[in-house]
Structure formats: C-alpha cells, structure tokens
Amino acid sequence: MTKVTLTVNGRAMSGECEDRTLLVHFIREKLGLTGTHVGCDTTQCGACVVHMDGHSVKSCSILAVQASGSTITTIEGLAGQGELHPVQAAFKEHHGLQCGFCTPGMVMTAVDLINREGGTLTEETVRAGLEGNICRCTGYHNIVKAILAADAEMATGRQAAE
Ligand code: FES
Ligand code: FES
C-alpha cells in the first residue's frame, strides 16, 4: 500500500491504496466523494472527469499514486457557498441533464473548456470540446445550449468586472 496525498476541493486529504488503484476509485472509495462517476473505467465515457492542477482529466486514466501531490477539484468543489457554479446553474435552467449520470463529467469538462476558450465558444467548438464525454440519454442538444449560455453569462461577468 502506498500513501497518496492530494489537495481536494481546497482541503488536504490523504489515504493509502494499492499502486494499481485508479484515481477515480481513490476519490470515490477512499475520499468518499461519489459525485465523480465511473461509467466505463477505460477512458471512453468522460463520466469521471475532474480537474487536476486546473485541467480536466479523466480520472480513470490516471493512477492515484501518479496524482499524489496534485490539486484536484471534483464536482463537489465547484459550487460556491450556497450557490451553483454558473455552468451548473445553466445545466439546471436549460435542462442539460436527464438521468444525470454523465452530468458531473460534462460540467467539469465544460468548466475547463470555458476557462480555456471562454468568450469564443460556438456550437461547433463546444461539440468538439465534448467529444470525450458520452451522454447515454443523448441529451446533447440541451447540454450544448447550457454551456453556450453559461459561457455568455460568464463573459458578461468578466466584462462587468473590468
Ligand atoms: Fe473514466 Fe469512463 S469512467 S472515461
Ligand atoms: Fe443521462 Fe447524460 S443525462 S447519461
């Protein structure tokens, strides 16, 4: 067993696991943060996306021991005190979820996309940005709509702050 230490959602957390343990299983089973989902375990579906050192990653594609020392944000750490992140709020408002299984991964991918390309997103670039995320309910139309709405709202917020 190897000790893994992470900063997760702003808090130092650690636990022991086997060297073969995937980061997604460490987050869910050792840290108890089950908002990050496991769909395929083989880097296909995107349900397990978290942010590692500020960038979205499929947490089933990394060993927990490889991630040790990094800063992780999960879906649980996205919202502010008592209010949803703008991307979460837009998913709610634009019906960007059906069963919700893909939603944490979709939201984490979308936030990274907006962080990188915010203000310039189009339907085409959002669809390209989501190519690693599968919605088995096929709710892509509203997911894309929600992300574009969140991008527009966040861009307005940035302009107001300038
Ligand atoms: Fe990681 Fe599907 S569980 S991509
Ligand atoms: Fe059901 Fe996407 S909302 S998998």
CATH 1.10.150.120 segments of the chain: 86-161
Beta strand 11-17 pairing with 2-8 = antiparallel
Distance of alpha carbon 100 from alpha carbon 88, whole angstroms: 12
Residues with CB under 6 A from ligand 2: 97-103, 135-137, 139
Identify which ligand lies nearest to the alpha carbon of 133. Answer: 1
Task: Say what the pTM is.
Answer: 0.96
The per-residue pLDDT for 110 is: 98
CATH 3.10.20.30 segments of the chain: 2-77
> What class does CATH assign to 2-77?
alpha beta
Instruction: Report percent pLDDT > 90 for the chain.
Output: 91
Which residues make Cβ contacts (< 8 Å) with residue 41, sequence separation at least 6? 22, 24, 60
Of the candidate CATH numbers 1.10.150.120, 2.40.30.10, 3.40.50.620, 3.90.1570.10, the domain formed by 86-161 belongs to 1.10.150.120
Identify which ligand lies nearest to the alpha carbon of 27. Answer: 1
pLDDT single digits (tens) 92-126? 999 999 999 999 999 999 999 999 999 999 999 99
Residues with CB under 6 A from ligand 1: 38-41, 43-48, 58, 60
pLDDT single digits (tens) 36-86? 999 999 999 999 999 999 999 999 999 999 999 999 999 999 998 789 999
Higher pLDDT, 26 or 79: 26
Predicted confidence band at 135 (pLDDT cuts at 50, 70, 90)?
very high
